[in-house]
């Protein structure tokens, strides 16, 4: 457990240390808005609330995300935290990292704190190799949960996802209009639901739009990292593609770097499309054409679904899909008439 430092909490809450002290000691003279702001700072920094304040923790909501190095996850966290705060709930952000605290351990801690519900963003529910029983057990206990970007059969909870299959259809149709027929897909490990869906959408779109049935050699599954994007690009360029659709913006940046290192140009020789529309990709070199996830819309739907679960007002279970938007920038261009060999 962290040692409480008044100065850290004061900076986070943008109040004086004296105000923090009054809140911690449950003293009068502090407005309710300021009190809630200080309590939110305490929770978000991982401090333990003083015993006399724990009965006020019923408004806590757990927010479990993957690592924050991928800009799409901080975007989701910020949007969801802001929406929860507007409804009077204090989010507790739990970030999973490789070798760090496991999702199940976070959940145990959240339940001990008496959270009102939990929102998962690309959690274990997106991993086909994990046991879905963890979510069924939570539902049997009556814990309200909402799961974003992943799906588990037989779990009685709302799922909110980006339409990964539709995303590939949009991307392939756009590239086909630019004259591309040799198109590759660079994405992450096949164990994840969004990857399976992207690959499915890619196969369908290549068949229906381009007329290609045998496209397995045009699918490169690596890691959702810059290095993974570079490795996938190397594999696909060797297959002769003139365009690559990536499973994330981070992968797309790695792909662009590798294509250039191979002596080719983006987009003159190889067009690249990212996925997410992360912060700053409009300022990359070249600005990245990408498939935008509706982060705000998905976040609003997830928070509303959780509030409906908490209040018992009812919400439609199953999966709700959000149609993505293709944002065209300078990393895509018409297919080259003839591409120079890689060097």
Residue 73: closest CA among 119, 136, 7: 119
pLDDT for res 13: 87
pLDDT for res 315: 65
**Token pair 């499915």: residue:** 200
pLDDT for res 123: 93
CB-based contact 189:228 (threshold 8 Å): no
Interatomic CA distance for residues 109 and 96, integer angstroms = 14
Question: Which CATH number is associated with domain 164-293?
Answer: 3.40.50.2300
SS3 string, 8-47, reads HHHHHHCCCHHHHHHHHCCCCCCCHHHHHHHHHHHHHCCC
Q: Regarding beta strands 318-322 and 219-221, do their DSSP bridges make them parallel or antiparallel, or are they unpaired?
A: unpaired
Q: Among 3.40.1160.10, 3.40.50.300, 3.40.1010.10, 3.40.50.2300, name the CATH number for the domain at 6-162+295-323.
A: 3.40.50.2300
Per-residue pLDDT of the chain (343 residues; tens, 9 = 90+): 456 688 888 988 899 989 988 888 878 888 878 888 888 888 777 777 775 665 444 589 999 999 888 999 999 999 999 999 989 899 999 998 878 899 999 999 999 999 999 999 999 999 999 999 999 999 999 999 999 999 999 999 999 999 999 999 999 999 999 999 999 999 999 999 999 999 999 999 999 999 999 999 999 999 999 999 999 999 999 999 999 999 999 999 999 999 999 999 999 999 999 999 998 999 999 999 999 999 999 999 999 999 999 988 766 778 999 999 999 999 999 999 865 443 3
Interatomic CA distance for residues 311 and 327, integer angstroms = 38
pLDDT for res 258: 98
- Per-domain residue ranges for the chain? 6-162+295-323, 164-293
| Intrachain domains 6-162+295-323 and 164-293 with the same fold | yes
Range list of β-strands (E), the chain = 60-65, 90-95, 117-121, 145-148, 158-162, 183-187, 219-221, 243-246, 271-276, 289-292, 318-322, 325-327
């Amino acid at each position: 457990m962290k040692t409480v430092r008044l100065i850290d909490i004061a900076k986070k809450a943008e109040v004086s240390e004296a105000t923090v002290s009054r809140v911690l000691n449950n003293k009068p003279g502090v407005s309710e808005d300021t009190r809630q702001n200080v309590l939110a700072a305490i929770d978000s920094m991982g401090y333990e609330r003083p015993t006399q304040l724990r009965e006020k923790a019923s408004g806590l909501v757990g927010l479990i995300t993957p690592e924050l190095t991928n800009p799409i996850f901080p975007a989701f966290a910020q949007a969801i935290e802001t929406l929860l705060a507007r409804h009077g709930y204090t989010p507790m952000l739990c970030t999973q990292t490789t070798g760090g605290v496991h999702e199940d351990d976070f959940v145990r801690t959240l339940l001990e704190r008496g959270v009102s519900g939990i929102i998962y963003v690309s959690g274990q529910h997106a991993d086909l190799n994990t046991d879905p029983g963890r979510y069924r057990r939570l539902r049997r206990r009556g814990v309200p949960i909402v799961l974003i970007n992943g799906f588990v059969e037989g779990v009685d909870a709302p799922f909110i996802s980006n339409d990964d299959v539709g995303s590939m259809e949009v991307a392939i149709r756009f590239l086909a209009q630019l004259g591309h027929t040799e198109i590759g897909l660079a994405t992450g490990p096949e164990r994840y639901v969004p990857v399976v869906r992207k690959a499915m959408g890619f196969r369908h779109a290549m068949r229906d739009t381009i007329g290609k049935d045998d496209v397995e050699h045009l699918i490169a599954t690596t890691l959702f990292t810059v290095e993974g994007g570079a490795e996938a690009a190397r594999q696909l360029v060797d297959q002769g593609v003139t365009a690559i659709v990536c499973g994330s913006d981070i992968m797309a940046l790695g792909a662009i770097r590798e294509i250039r290192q191979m002596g080719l140009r983006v987009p003159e020789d190889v067009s690249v499309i990212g996925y997410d529309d992360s912060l700053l990709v409009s300022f990359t070199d070249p600005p990245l054409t990408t498939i935008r996830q509706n982060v705000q819309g998905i976040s609003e739907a997830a928070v509303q679904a959780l509030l409906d679960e908490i209040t018992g007002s009812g919400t439609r279970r199953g999966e709700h899909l959000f149609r993505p938007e293709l944002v065209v920038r300078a990393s895509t261009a018409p297919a080259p008439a003839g591409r120079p060999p890689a060097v």
